Structures are given as structure tokens and as C-alpha cells.
A = this chain, B = another copy of it.
Amino acid sequence: MNYRDIYNKIVKKNSFLCVGLDTDIEKIPECLLNEEDPVFEFNKRIVDATQQFAVAYKPNTAFYEALGAKGWTSLQKTAEYIKKNYPGIFLIADCKRGDIGNTCKMYAKTFFEQMPFDAVTLSPYMGRDSISPFLEYEGKWAIILALTSNPSASDFQIIQEKETDEFLFEKTLKFGQLWGDENRIMYVAGATQAYKFQQIRKIAKNNFLLVPGVGAQGGSLEDVATFGMNETCGLLVNSSRGIIYASNGSDFAEKAGEQAEAISIKMKKLLEDNKKNSQRK
């Protein structure tokens, strides 16, 4: 999948929604707990109910690992289900890995061979070696943490470099530009940092930004669009808890669908506004 494939999907669906599958066994509806694989069953129904409003899904690996081998099976089944039934949807393993090259080859094998993910989220602390093994896979993506949505993002990410006056997250963006083009590299940019998106766009003009932090974490979709959109959208905005836990009754999938639709309606408006603004320029 390349940039254009994702953008075409956004245009077709009038949405740039990524649904985060942070599926916590302790939060899923009771009516599913007798299923053989409650986590997979939950995901399956959530995906079926939301897929018409979403261009991407993003299971967060931590939630699956916490259940041991069984959780890993649920993750695998979820990834395979999505790719089989909705092959055009962009599938992200939110795993935030990062290690030496030899080890990253194993992680690439995990998510790109063992499972059918299109992309992984990666931490840049160890530099290029920790990213490049993922780029050896044709059509697969590295999504690099740049400016994250959590309160302590500022501990390191806004350290200013002496030599260049650049902030660490800007260095990350710049290195990413060297490592691959916009068909292979995205960045994580938290919605809680929307006021810095203009700074990000100065460096990463043409890349998709994967944006968590709308909803439960307090970020604003409108701000993200105002400061972060480029002419071809360039945003995948994630919502997890706000969608998947919209109800904990037997109507959970229906309510998740309604939430996803509500967000996609806002997104449609933002895409239209963006188109008008682009034409005006």
C-alpha cells in the first residue's frame, strides 16, 4: 500500500478515521465472555460495525500480550480477519518497537510475515538501525514516534539541540525524511500537541501523521485538522476508547458504529473545508 492508495480510500470514504483496538478483556461486554475467544469476537463485531467509516485499524499490542499466548492468538486472528474481509483497510500494529538491526528483523518478521500488518509504530531512540529493517519490506510502513500525546512527552521530545536549535522531535522528523519517502514513513503526532502541527508540517510536508489523543486524552479533532492537514489530507486520526467502549451492553457494536459515524461526519466536513481552502490558494 502506498500514500496514494490510502488517500484514495480517504476520499472514497470521506473519512480519515483509524479505530484503535485497545481491547481490554476487563472492559468488553459480559455477553461475550462465554465466547471461545472473547477478544477476537469483540474485535470482529467492532470492525464489522465501524469499517464503513474507517480507513485504518490499529490494535495496540500491549492489550493482547497481557493475556499471554491466548492474547497473541486473538491479535493474529484480528489482523487476519481485517485483511481478509476488508483488504483495502490500512492495518497498523501499534507496538512501538525499537532495537538493534538484528532484533528488528525479527520484529519485522513478526508483524509483516507472521501477521499481515501494513505498518508498525516505532520508537526512534536507537536511530536508523532500529527503523531500516522494516523498510526492507515492499509496501510496508514505519510509523515513527515524533511528538507524542502523553503528558511526559516533553521530558525528551522538546529538548533543543545546541548545534541546530532544533527540538528532538524535529530531529526525529528530519531523520525520518532521510530514511524513506512519504510512501513508507509516517509519524506519530499527538492530538494534544496540535498547536505544534505547523512546526511538524514545515519538515514533514507530505507525510501522513498518525494522530492519537483525540477523545479520552483531550485532543481536538478540529485543531488537528486546522494545523495538521496537507493538501492530500495527510492525517490518520485515531480513536480507541471513545468508539470501542461506547456501550458495554449487547448493543456495543451498534453504538461503536454510531460513534465512528459521528466522527466520520465531522471528518467529511473537515475534508470539504480543506478542499475549498486548497482550491482558494
Contact = CB atoms under 8 A, between A and B. Distances in A.
A180 interface: no
Nearest 6 Cβ contacts at the A-B interface? A127-B152, A127-B155, A62-B106, A128-B152, A129-B152, A100-B150
B150 A172 contact: no
Question: How many copies of this chain?
Answer: 2
Contact of A150 (B68, B69, B101, B114): B101
Contact of A73 (B69, B157, B163): B69
A169 B62 CA distance: 26
A259 to B, nearest CB: 19
Interface in A54-70: 60, 62-63, 65-70
Given A101-B150, A160-B162, A160-B163, A128 B155 contact: yes
A110 interface: yes
Interface stretch (A4-12, A91-99, A224-232, A247-255): A91-99
A137 interface: no
A124 interface: yes
Contacts of A73: 68-69
Interface of A: 22, 24, 60, 62-63, 65-70, 72-73, 76, 96-104, 106-107, 109-110, 113-115, 123-130, 145, 148-157, 159-163, 165, 168, 171-172, 175, 217
A182 B156 CA distance: 22
A104 B68 contact: no
Contacts of A172: 156
14 contacts: A22-B102, A24-B106, A60-B103, A65-B107, A65-B110, A66-B113, A68-B76, A96-B99, A123-B123, A127-B154, A129-B151, A129-B152, A159-B159, A160-B161
